[in-house]
Structure 1
């Protein structure tokens, strides 16, 4: 799904209104005159929301492309109140603004509060003028000085709270709360000096920096999200209004500076829309390579391959193969998440993924890897969530030259796996089989895939997972604080259901070797992971130094979404998160893989 869809819909609808209004522009004679600061007010919502007003300001920046065009104006001199912004965005829809930077204009327009992403997103609103007409007073004016955003100006506390309610009505306190500070600068010219990059450049020319050195706490220069209260207040998204090339940044790099206007977006919240960008200095962060397993070690990995399907370019298959062979050292078993069916997002009833998997395993062989076999179960069409028509599922690749696998039974997408005891040894009824696939915990979500393998004369139960996504959760920058995380309820249930299945294995054989791994879409400190552990599994991410605990970078926060958990009988292991994607702009996937090497 296009991440910009919400903005596109808004721009189209509002653009129609703007176009219609050109035939009946508001009259300055019938609009009261206010300063920009007065229009912005001291809270997040303008006291003149819905009113037609007249004001004066200097054009500081123009967005002249896309369907959400407009420009920013700022008072030549502010009102001296730190809680009020001295600037505002003028929305012109799909029409290119007929003005120029440096113009002093008098403008009449209707005040509105636009919520990027829509009301249901929970996002904050952007105060703007629409249906506007203006006249030019003078040209070539000096621009108001940019406010420097720095460690000294950004509060360490990210936000105030309101028991999950909206913080819109509170008077801004920009010296106490980072979200209030950024809101108080909405639309104004701002700058950052030499600043470390904590989120790589993406396809939309966006990167993240952090102006607070104390929050650069990952081993490679990122900012760790290690609890619900570690939001990292110094994070700021930088994007561009320039037609020139935008820097391609990696986590750990440093941008020498940037100046622009502070906007608010559905994707990332407060953003410095750059009118000038400095140079990028490499931090030397490279893609990691794990150690190879010894002949006597069983290596098991998990890798979210991000909606892999045959319509992807051959370069993606090649890059994934290179990562598995060279960076992960050809693990004996690889749990894959987000493998799509043979025609990808085409929603036509196809559920088989044989072509997808043939292309991947062939690419692995071409890269010098083993001739992997695989086991999986096709989902029912359009029942497991993910991209519509894609029918994503987990797949277990395995190297038959190193591990044993014997299929048992003929489980379908809705067949529930179970555990029996054969001579005191646990055994799956189906190999492979899904865990409680008709349980409501897995509604519109991937069902765990459980399988048995043998290595070195011992049996290993491997359960591949992809818990329900965080879709629908409010963002950290939400107007509702603390943000509602509605998806956590279902993942909590998923953790409990799967833990019960693990309990049944251990009840049949107390010293059974169980490996639970995959994209759990939740944090080590979450209820979902706690429920899954249930006193019988250990999350291996907890065994790493804190600075190495991340598998994913989102909005400049390095965080853990992917996990490997083991039962207590697995006592000798070497665990590694292999950072080859999340910190880099040339991602093969948005997740980092991980591997555990187990010595029987």
Structure 2
């Protein structure tokens, strides 16, 4: 039974080929030493991947469909007349490439020719090598319609079209443009989306391997009909397809307006135009057109504040010409452009190129316009004996100059730094009118997991318009170990995650611990992890973060993808929010200005080709795309509390009202505060729990104390009090929630709440009624040393006197100011 390839069953025939040809023209052929076998093109091609008559001398006939007399291909394609309309040879191609530097300039499109030559396979494509005298032009002026339809993905179906005229139809999308600026070729795929990185979609291992195998069958290449390298030997010829007017971007929808030839080259199915094209070719003469998918700015993400991550691709204000030993990548005139090695610099070769790089980054960041931006791959200026923040401050100055105001500020390096660092680092910049740093930044220094990567940098922020009712958040920027190298446990296991996956898992694990410490330090559960994790969405390091309760904003809001590698889109850059904080976020968006653009537009490719592709705009300012997310922090201020038994002028009025404003107390239902009433132990636990920010705490199902049942008003607070080690209860297993808190016990609670810090009590007591051997002598002395208590005017402390609610408000107020430094 004959087999008709699946795709050909859906071919749309656009014209029939006439079997009668007008006009004749013959060229005498040089007789060969022995007669070649006369075969059809289909018999030469066969139904397999290689020709069944390879290495044999053959004669065949066909119509010339494409000619490459110039450009380096040195040949032409011929196709059996009538084959586009009637499939005489199911499963076998009716087209073939004629490699013939001797005769390529003698033929033109539409010639009916007979050729004699030797069959071979060149880089997977069947060809006939024809020498001078092996060509006879029988007639001219013929045409063949292209086979139209959705290009098949089955390898055998594509093999059956090798060398034939085709014109793909249906939805087609650009999936890779990496080689466009150099070789004039780019990759396409059927459908409305580019190909995805396997581990961005499915789990590493068997699923990822299967997914990528399916990817490989889908893509195909559109070439330029030549072998030119437009950045080297062919740099004086304008590069085809890419430009600044209608940029060739991954994700763009493509439409074929002219026929092309299905060929196979360098391991990929390749569509060749029927004649060489270049940047001089009019758009109307190109075989394909595509949509312009550029966006002038990211989508609005809402929220009171916004946060973003931006990889600035080796932004080095220290240029190569300032150092010794640097080697360079050069332009087509051998001018240095970027550092290639030999020194610690990684960026621009000189000031001229640095300014080109900086102009693009500045345009991108100022348009991104996020409240807080983390930066990756910025110069660590300390490596060059300069202030660590010099490059960072240079960038901020350039941003502000372009903005025309002091729009941006940098977060200064912390006082405590790692003992050794990479030449690139991470950093934060922010807009002071929108966000304000809280405290000093902090780098995770006490970990070996990041010895081969940049250590996380944390900074707390609040809204610039925040008041005491508003929250703060902690941002932690990351740049994990890359996938490019690793040995031993870090060797590439072949599961789709690349090399050094073990390192990235360890880094994610330590990042979680660092984030927990930052939560405790700043008394907030609002944490954002962001940066270049060098791990795709479904990979092991990201799973560590998900299991710790962090939620990906990329996936929550379907924000898009930040990176492109090997014609596969995915996200190595992420923004994740702690579990409860996710509810504060309003939206997120990936602004595709970099990964999907041609690398030819980078400053690093300046003057690689006679066509000037550089522009001082945001597009291809880096190789990673920024993700921006919006969120809210401010809360509506509650109506001020008024206590009927506390009026301005009363002792501790300010402290009591501060306690109420912070939500540590709401007083009684009748509107009173009852300032002289004693504080019982249950209420004391509640005060400390609220002072800590009412942290998320899962109280045990079984009570720790026999006299505090699970339905007690302050059950959670008392269990938290116990879990923190602030109280141990009484020896018989009770807590005695209604018992009054004496002033000595109160001092012990504050001391333990601070973590029982190292403190040596004075040899002589500061209070006349507090012997050095009295219970809680050290704790009471510590309380005095912190300025939380001064005792009574008569020099007593009165340790066994119950603490009153007004005095308790004063103690908490002073503790917050003097110990927690919250004012």
Q: TM over 0.5: same fold?
A: yes
Where in structure 2 are the equivalents of 1:346-495 lying within 5 Å? 360-368=395-403, 369-372=407-410, 393-399=424-430, 401=432, 402-404=435-437, 429-430=444-445, 436-438=449-451, 447-456=453-462, 458=472, 460=474, 462-465=476-479, 467-469=481-483, 488-490=497-499, 492-495=501-504
Distance 2:473 2:159 in 1: 57
Higher alpha-carbon Rg: 2
Provide closer, same or farther for how the CA distance between residues 36 and 520 of structure 1 changes in structure 2, counting only shifts above 3 A: farther
For residues 546-589 of structure 1, the C-alpha deviation after alignment (integer angstroms, 9 at most, x for no partner) is xx532345677654343223333533224321233345556413
Aligned to 1:334, what secondary structure does the other structure show? strand
Distance 1:351 1:65 in 2: 54
For residues 35-84 of structure 1, the C-alpha deviation after alignment (integer angstroms, 9 at most, x for no partner) is 433343323233445x2432424443234555554433333355733422
Distance 1:148 1:471 in 2: 45
Distance 1:43 1:107 in 2: 22
Distance 1:265 1:397 in 2: 46
Structure 2 stretches lacking a partner, 5+ long: 1-29, 203-207, 227-236, 276-284, 317-346, 463-470, 487-492, 602-618, 634-823
Where in structure 2 are the equivalents of 1:21-420 lying within 5 Å? 29=34, 34-49=39-54, 51-56=55-60, 57-66=62-71, 69-76=74-81, 78=83, 80-91=88-99, 97-102=104-109, 103=111, 104-114=113-123, 125-129=124-128, 135-138=134-137, 140=140, 142-150=142-150, 154=152, 158=153, 177=154, 179-193=155-169, 197-199=173-175, 202-203=180-181, 204-207=183-186, 210-211=189-190, 215-216=191-192, 226=201, 229=211, 231=215, 236-241=220-225, 246=241, 248=246, 249-250=248-249, 251-253=251-253, 255=255, 257-266=257-266, 269-273=269-273, 275=275, 276-277=285-286, 280=289, 282=291, 286-291=295-300, 297=305, 299-303=307-311, 305=313, 309-311=347-349, 312=353, 314-326=355-367, 328-337=368-377, 360-368=395-403, 369-372=407-410, 393-399=424-430, 401=432, 402-404=435-437
Task: Work out whether residues 434 and 448 of structure 1, in 8 Å CA contact, stay in contact via their aligned partners in 2.
Answer: no
Moved more, 251-260 or 484-493: 484-493
Distance 1:87 1:501 in 2: 60
Distance 1:568 1:462 in 2: 15
Provide closer, same or farther for how the CA distance between residues 455 and 488 of structure 1 changes in structure 2, counting only shifts above 3 A: same
Provide closer, same or farther for how the CA distance between residues 236 and 370 of structure 1 changes in structure 2, counting only shifts above 3 A: same
Distance 2:268 2:380 in 1: 31
Task: Work out whether residues 465 and 519 of structure 1, in 8 Å CA contact, stay in contact via their aligned partners in 2.
Answer: yes
In structure 2, the residue matched to 1:500 is 509
Provide closer, same or farther for how the CA distance between residues 593 and 209 of structure 1 changes in structure 2, counting only shifts above 3 A: same
Deviation at 1:500, TM superposition (A): 1.7
For residues 110-160 of structure 1, the C-alpha deviation after alignment (integer angstroms, 9 at most, x for no partner) is 51341xxxxxxxxxx33445586662211525244322132xx63xxx5xx
State the TM-score, normalizing by the size of structure 2. 0.48
Distance 2:116 2:135 in 1: 9
State the TM-score, normalizing by the size of structure 1. 0.63
Distance 1:185 1:379 in 2: 62
- How big is the alpha-carbon RMSD for the aligned residues of Structure 1 and Structure 2? 4.8
Deviation at 1:324, TM superposition (A): 0.8
Distance 1:379 1:64 in 2: 63
Distance 1:46 1:130 in 2: 14
Distance 2:78 2:461 in 1: 68
Provide closer, same or farther for how the CA distance between residues 71 and 398 of structure 1 changes in structure 2, counting only shifts above 3 A: same
Deviation at 1:306, TM superposition (A): 7.5
Larger RCO (CA under 8 A, 6+ residues apart): 1
Provide closer, same or farther for how the CA distance between residues 59 and 134 of structure 1 changes in structure 2, counting only shifts above 3 A: farther
Distance 1:405 1:506 in 2: 16
Provide closer, same or farther for how the CA distance between residues 530 and 470 of structure 1 changes in structure 2, counting only shifts above 3 A: farther
Larger helix proportion of the pair: 2
